[in-house]
Amino acid sequence: MSTGQLLVLGASVIWILFCMRFWYAIDQEHTWQRRFIAIGAGIGGGLIYLIGTMMLQMLKEPGPPVVNDETEIRVSPGKRADEPKK
C-alpha cells in the first residue's frame, strides 16, 4: 500500500470513529438518532474512501508515451532561425 492509500484509509477510519463517539454519547432511548449516526458513519466513511482513491488515481503521473516501431517519423526542412526574412 502506498502512503496516499494509507492516508485515505486513515481518514475514513477517523470519520467512522468520530461518528461513533457521538453514537456512544446519545442515550439508548433515542434509537433512531443512533441509527442515523451509524448509517452516516458507514456511508461517510465509504464516500471518503471512494473519493480519496479516485483523487489518487487522478493525481498519478502519466507514464511515458508508447511508441510503436512501425511508426514513421518524418521531419520536413523548415526555415532556419538565422536566415533573414524576405
Give me the residue spans of the domains in the chain: 17-59
- Does this model's pTM top 0.85? My answer is no
10: left (phi > 0), else alpha (psi -120 to 50), else beta?
Answer: alpha
Q: Cα 51 vs. chain centroid, distance in angstroms?
A: 5
Contact call for residues 8 and 53 (beta carbons, < 8 A): yes
Given a cut of 90, whether residue 83 has pLDDT beyond it is: no
| Cβ neighbours for 15, distance < 8 A, ≥ 6 positions apart | 41, 44, 45, 48
Instruction: Write the pLDDT tens digit of every residue in 6-64.
Output: 999 999 999 999 999 999 999 999 999 999 999 999 999 999 999 999 999 988 887 77
